[in-house]
Amino acid sequence: AALRAARPHPDAPVLLGHTLDDQAETVLLGLGRGSGARSLSGMREWDPPWCRPLLGLRRSVTRAACAAAGLPVWDDPHNTDPRFTRVRLRHEVLPLLEEVLAGGVAEALARTARQLREDSAALDAVAAGLLRSAHDPQRGPELLLAPLEGVPAALRRRVLRAWLATADVTALTEEHLRAADVLAAQGPDRAGVALPGGLELVRARGRLSLRPIRWGAGG
């Protein structure tokens, strides 16, 4: 929020100094946490308003460039505090992986992120077309299920995530999304899938809709 507020213009980009090493750490964190392809695809070079022009360079290169140019550098003390998981990955896990696998691990992790971003972009484009068929804001907020019949689960879940985002449903977990997908794919007509924000997903007459959770007398 502070970086957004500091921009000289509402459309101005914010330049960040993330490097290839930061990307590798991000992918490794996602792997360890069992994250999906969206998380493993890492950081994007351009994700408005964030711009990361150094994402393809190693941290050692950016440090050397600053030293050669006589630029002052401030090292955040958090970057050496072992209480943070990312710091231990940086100073313990990645060096060990580089040793065991004979180098190139950071580059390989960054390459994996790039490949997953390309795959995710292709799937997202297909999902966007399906969403346009299943959800017309002019007709109402519901999601039609007929256009999703026979659609692979990976695509269907992307459509569900995008549709829920239009209703400002965020902070979805894997469990939320899979429960919503079961309701969308298998039914039967019912309610009961609780989502963040105190909302409940309802299936009825070939459509999905959202409503506030109705608490019982003991709720």
Residue 208 contacts residue 145 (beta carbons within 8 Å): yes
pLDDT digits 0-9 by tens, 41-100: 999 999 999 999 999 999 999 999 999 999 999 989 999 999 999 999 999 999 999 999
Query: What's the pLDDT at 171?
Result: 86
Query: What's the pLDDT at 215?
Result: 66
Query: What's the pLDDT at 34?
Result: 84
State the sign of the Cα–Cα–Cα–Cα dihedral 184, 187, 191, 193. negative
**200 beta partners:** 194, 211
Query: What's the pLDDT at 217?
Result: 46
CATH 3.40.50.620: does it fit domain 2-118? yes
Residue 22 contacts residue 60 (beta carbons within 8 Å): no
Q: Delimit the domains of the chain by residue range.
A: 2-118, 142-212
Taking 70 as the pLDDT cut, the residues of the chain under it are 215-219
Query: What's the pLDDT at 190?
Result: 86
